[in-house]
Structure 1
Amino acid sequence: MSGKSRDFSLQWKRFFWIVGIFLALVLLLYFRFTSSRQVEGIAEIPVPVRVVPIRAERIKLYDTVIGRIEGEQSVKVLSGVAGFVVDIGKSRGDSVKEGEVIMVLEDSGRLYELREATGRHALARADFDEARRKHSQYKKLFDKGVVSRDELDSALSAVNRAQAQLEAFEASYKKAKWYYDRLKIRSPISGTITEIPPDTGQEVMQGETVARVAGNRKNSVIAGVDSSIAKRTRRGAKVVIEYKTPGETRSAAGTVAGVSKETDAYSTTYSLEISVDDKDVWTELWSGEFVNLKIEAGLLADVVRIPITAVLYKDRVPLIFVARGGKALEVFLKSEPVRVDSGTVAIPVSLFSGGSQIIIEGGSRLEEGRAVQILKDR
């Protein structure tokens, strides 16, 4: 009996092992099935996106470059003498006529020199006039035989000495007056003040630049561009000139007046000359100032403008996601999109089928066929 009991017990153990393994397999299959259903359920959650409708439009293209205002003539105004600035009669942007005083300097030493030279010159003039009077008197007396030849010659020598002294003091006077007059700094040309570096009370040295004046009879805007822009820019093309004034940015209309045929030797760029249509704008523009130029470069028809961030890449090929029927669909572009400005590109509407909307936000989380939820505009 003991042997049979052991066999019976062994059979029950085998039975329980088999049942346990079976239950473990059932539980394993159950958990795998339920987890896959959960993952599948998560994948079906729609991705929130923002879209724009596909509406064909015509877009003007512009090349954006930096230009520089150039006057017909731009000169530095140098101080002819040293001195302290006591008065500045003009400001940056003011019009000035040739010979008009821009600034006044003060140098007490020059004033004293002029006064001293003026006094010496006046005394020398008086001595010369007196010597001439005496010589004339001696000549009459010599003709009458009252004075001798030696006395007449002595009177003539006195005239010559007085004349030489007068000429010397006259030269000193003119030199002192020249330096004193240079304390009033005048504009060498008619134009517009573009710069006045020194301030009132500041000392300036001889030869120092105290102002810049730009002639304003023939102003233009010059821009250096590469060969691609130079080739597609035509004389007469419209230009938008953007410039800054205190507190705001303004714009003015311009026209391409010419395109250089050769490159600049230093910058290796081609030069565009732009004329400004509204001549009154020159009162707000100064020679040497930098401005932004938007040059008309062409026209795109039947395109839609979208943010550049909506363009994605797959295997280096540009693509855009569109929403149709609640799903995200890939639309591959045949080439790189045309950039309209720094933030947008133009896409031909012919790439899209009816009923589609372009996804502009949320595309980075999408794949072909993924469910999407279109969000309303903010």
Structure 2
Amino acid sequence: MTVLDHALDLALRGWPVFPANPAQKPDPFSKAPHLPKASAPGEKDGGHWLASADPGVIRGWWRRWPRALIGFPTGLRTQCVVIDLDPKDVPVEAMLAALTRFCGRLRYEDPETGEIVEPAFAFTQSGGLHLYFAWPTEAEFAEMERNLQRVGGIFKPTIGSPTDVFRRFLKAGEVGPELAHIDVRGEGGYVIAPPSVMVDGKAYSWAIPRGEILPPLPRRLRGVITGEFLTEAERQSRRAAARSQQRRGSSTEIADRRVKAAVDAAIGRALDMARTAAPGSRNRGVYDAAVWLGRIVRGGFLGRAEAESMLFANLPAGVPPTEPKIKHTISNGLDAPVPAFSPAELGPGRAA
């Protein structure tokens, strides 16, 4: 079978595909879609969003680009989430073994039938691995929402395409280097499907081909991706916040439970803002979070030392608490000349 035949086979099973550039890096268009770009950032009218399951369209693409790779969208359209293991520092076998140990197991065993479902495994052209799991069900998304509410996280009803998902745990020293360089391809992402071949002859190949049924993401891995699973430092920070909340709960200054809930939610949002700040805006993210906590401190609902401790425990990946600049950033944010938080902001009937 040719690459085109494999692309048509995927389409026959209801999964859209698109042609991608087989050039190797440093070509800036390596593995990029051979299709028009989106009309504007965030629009879904170009690139991999133009993937099709129409045999006529696919044949036309491969007549134009006969050496094209098979681009395979991930997420809702193909009902899968792909975990990408990129062996930059350690062998991919060591990465797979470490991921399996972390998760307990990658396969799924049906509790009623005993049937075992393995994830699909594909070797990448660079020596990495793609592991294919099922897109979460409605019940799984509901479980994610409950878990995130319990830990004070922000629920998003999707699985996106974050990179280096174990960075928080690596930074905390809770996992080894084998779990570095593990990315996710979910909604809005794509992978290259076997048996695509790069211009230099390096190819993608199946170790375990994708069947009709895929196992769900292991709960622990899903928790790392979504934020349901916390590092020990994050858990300690949340426990400290909970103790502070208990103390505040007995205070006449927060007699109104709705005010307490608003304060707790604001603290959670501020810590998430700091922890998830992207590269290039990490300092700004920490500063903005400190400004929010500063308002709560000046309102009398949180101690300054406690606010600093929370921020240091929730720094973005790649920002060590020993970095001289970060202490200055936190101090400036806490001292920013903005009004103190007041229960009056919640409107009539909500003040203590």
With the length of structure 2 as denominator, give the TM-score of the two structures: 0.24
Query: Which is higher, the Rg of structure 1 or of structure 2?
Result: 1
Higher normalized strand content (fraction of residues): 1
Q: Give the structure, 1 or 2, with the largest relative contact order (CA under 8 Å, sep 6 or more).
A: 1
TM-score (norm: length of structure 1): 0.22
